[in-house]
């Protein structure tokens, strides 16, 4: 029994090692004064200095964050509306049709989304740049939000709504005081998924971004295609630190929320 325990931990250790090794590898060499990822010559912070002095890069980081936040907020709103639309359609067939259309963008390969949006934006005359990237990110985030919110809505017992209506709640009150609070975990999950997808997306953005506009992943791609540059390492270290901070914050918030829920539940 004890040996088995050890073996399974060894396996997990191996998995975590594989998952994190490349990231720490990048971070390690970001302090290399040698300028390559072969030999560690000496400690330096020059690459970080270079990142912070590169105004263009900082603007790109800002663009990326703005696109991610804006697109996930808007797609969360549309996604919640979409989930409500699907739930309120009582006919099973229409519901399934809507869901199928919803899932098309989730299962589509990125290149197809990118290529087809490129055609779409060119035809309807959207200038490639900020707007086209934002629209594309909203478009591919909406179905993710719908998928995250829908189970919560279906979980909701109809008697809850009936009770609210019986007690005289208007349609808007039912929505804002009963439905939305109930599905809040789904909404948050959807929002964070949308945020993650937007920050991480490269392929779609690569297609619909014009010459003047760039997001971080597009910029990294063009830098990496030119070869190794420790500026990328420094940048990725910063991104990693930032991500870890967000995740820690998110973890504590969700932990506190679940404790609160538990407290309420036991209090009753």
Partner 1 sequence: MQTKSRNIYLVPYVLWILLFVVAPIVLVVYYSFFSIDNELTLENYKKFFTPVYLQMTVSSFWYAFLITLFSLVFSYPTAYLLTKLKHKQLWLLLIILPTWINLLLKAYAFLGIFGTYGTVNKFTEFLGLGTHQILFTDFSFVFVSVYIFIPFMILPIFNSLEELNPSLIYASRDLGASSWVTFKRVVFPLTLEGVKSGCQAVFIPALSLFMITRLIAGNRVITLGTAIEQHFLVTQDWGMGATIAVFLIIAMAVMMLITGTGKRGV
Please provide residue 158's backbone torsions phi and psi, each rounded to the nearest 5 degrees: -65, -25
Q: How many residues sit close enough to partner 1 to count as binding (CB under 8 A)?
A: 73
CB burial of residue 82 (10 Å; 0-12, 13-18, 19+): buried
In the list 71, 102, 198, 205, the residue contacting partner 1 (rule: CB under 8 A) is: 102
Interaction mask 196-235, partner 1, x per CB under 8 A = x--xx-xx--xx--------xx--xx--xx-xx---x---
In the list 70, 73, 98, 161, the residue contacting partner 1 (rule: CB under 8 A) is: 98
The reply on whether position 17 binds partner 1 by CB under 8 A is no
The reply on whether position 68 binds partner 1 by CB under 8 A is no
* Residues shown for the chain: 268
In the list 111, 160, 180, 245, the residue contacting partner 1 (rule: CB under 8 A) is: 111
Angstrom distance (rounded) from CA 113 to CA 133: 12
Least distance between partner 1 and beta carbon 256 (Å): 14
Gyration radius (Cα) of the chain, Å: 23
The reply on whether position 131 binds partner 1 by CB under 8 A is no
**Between 172 and 267, CB nearer to partner 1:** 172
The reply on whether position 52 binds partner 1 by CB under 8 A is no
The reply on whether position 133 binds partner 1 by CB under 8 A is no
Q: Which residues contact 69 (CB under 8 A, 6 or more apart)?
A: 195
List the interface residues with partner 1, window 174-193 (CB under 8 A). Answer: none
**Between 16 and 52, CB nearer to partner 1:** 16
In the list 70, 73, 105, 126, the residue contacting partner 1 (rule: CB under 8 A) is: 105
Angstrom distance (rounded) from CA 215 to CA 29: 24
Helix (H/G/I), strand (E/B), else coil: 43: strand
Helix (H/G/I), strand (E/B), else coil: 32: strand
The reply on whether position 115 binds partner 1 by CB under 8 A is yes
User: CA-based angle 246:130:210, to the nearest 5?
Assistant: 120
List the interface residues with partner 1, window 157-176 (CB under 8 A). Answer: 171
The reply on whether position 252 binds partner 1 by CB under 8 A is no
**Between 220 and 267, CB nearer to partner 1:** 220
Angstrom distance (rounded) from CA 268 to CA 265: 5
Taking the CB of residue 227, how many other CB atoms lie within 10 A of it? 8
């Amino acid at each position: 029994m004890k040996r088995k325990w050890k073996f399974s931990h060894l396996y997990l250790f191996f998995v975590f090692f594989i998952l994190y090794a490349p990231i720490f590898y990048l971070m390690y060499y970001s302090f290399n004064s040698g300028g390559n990822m072969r030999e560690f010559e000496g400690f330096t912070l020059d690459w970080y200095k270079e990142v912070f002095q590169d105004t263009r890069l900082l603007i790109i980081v800002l663009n990326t964050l703005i696109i991610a936040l804006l697109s996930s907020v808007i797609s969360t709103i549309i996604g919640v509306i979409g989930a409500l639309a699907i739930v309120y359609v009582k006919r099973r067939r229409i519901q399934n049709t809507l869901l199928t259309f919803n899932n098309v963008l989730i299962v589509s390969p990125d290149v197809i989304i990118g290529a087809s949006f490129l055609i779409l934006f060119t035809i309807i005359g959207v200038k490639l740049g900020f707007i086209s990237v934002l629209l594309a990110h909203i478009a591919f985030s909406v179905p993710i939000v719908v998928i995250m919110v829908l189970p919560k809505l279906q979980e909701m017992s109809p008697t809850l709504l009936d009770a609210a209506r019986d007690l005289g709640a208007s349609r808007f009150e039912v929505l804002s005081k009963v439905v939305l609070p109930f599905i809040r975990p789904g909404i948050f999950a959807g929002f964070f998924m949308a945020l993650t997808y937007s920050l991480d997306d490269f392929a779609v953005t690569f297609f619909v971004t014009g010459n003047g506009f760039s997001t971080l992943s597009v910029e990294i791609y063009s830098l990496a295609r030119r070869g190794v540059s420790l500026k990328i390492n420094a940048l990725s270290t910063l991104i990693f630190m930032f991500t870890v901070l967000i995740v820690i914050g998110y973890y504590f918030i969700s932990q506190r929320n679940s404790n609160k829920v538990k407290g309420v539940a036991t209090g009753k």
